[in-house]
Amino acid sequence: MRLVLVGPPGAGKGTQAQFLAAHYLIPHISTGDIFRANLKAGTPLGEQAKSFMDRGELVPDSVTNEMVKDRLTHEDAKNGFLLDGFPRNVAQAEVLRDILAEKKTPLHAVLEFALGDEEIIARLSSRRTCRDCGGPSVGLDKCPTCGGEVYQREDDKADVIKRRLEVYTEQTAPIIAFYRNADLLISISAVGSVEAITDQAKSALKNVAQ
């Protein structure tokens, strides 16, 4: 299965990506995880990415395109992959299309998690992130995964969330039309329990060729 997940910030793509990647036995390739690793290590790439993320803006294409291209050559992605956070605009979608066309391994589907702005703001403004493992935490003083200290990321504050949604509408939402026109888009609601959304995603993808 070669799958891309799309949807606004706060739609739960990262959580669903983990379950779907395990279900299809494919690697979960998240640009967010790559950026967090660089941020924690304080690399030049991490510092560059942080300056954009703290303003609620997207990291430039030049930082991510070659990184994703290289990641798709790894052995664990030979039989499929799940991309979470890439592509984030039409230019990147075209880059991905060309990369996969060269390898003669086109996408099987693009799964959209649809969610309204009010629900997004409510979700993200209450979210906290673990300093140690980067995992999310809602309404807890400690990380439920590793017990680490949790904090509110700059890009989870209400004013920054609104800017993130503006950026998403301007830059990322057009890829939904791009993939719809390519007959690859499958859209589901991101409202409900994690388990219900996972079941809905599996059901929507059950007839997709693998």
CA distances from 101 to 94, 107, 136, 177 (A): 10, 9, 35, 20
Residue from 28, 27, 6, 16 nearest 89 by CA: 6
Token pair in block for residue 8: 């606004």
* Residue from 78, 102, 109 nearest 209 by CA: 109
164 is catalytic: yes
Other Cβ atoms within 10 Å of 173 Cβ, number? 16
Is 13 a residue of the active site? yes
Options 2, 88, 123, 128, the catalytic residue: 88
- Pull the structure tokens for residue 61: 């294409």
**Alpha-carbon distances, residue 199 vs 21, 96, 195 (angstroms):** 13, 27, 6
Annotated catalytic residue 163? no
Choose the catalytic residue: 2, 123, 128, 164.
Answer: 164
Check 50, 153, 157, 162 and give the catalytic one. 153
**Could you confirm whether 2 is annotated as catalytic?**
no
The question of whether 88 is a catalytic residue gets the answer: yes
**Segment (H or E) for 82:** strand 81-84
Residue 209's CB is within 10 A of a number of other CB atoms, namely 7
Please identify which of the residues 127, 157, 163, 180 carries the catalytic annotation: 127
Q: What angle do CA 127, 162, 13 make, to 5 degrees?
A: 50
- Annotated active-site positions, please? 13, 88, 127, 153, 164
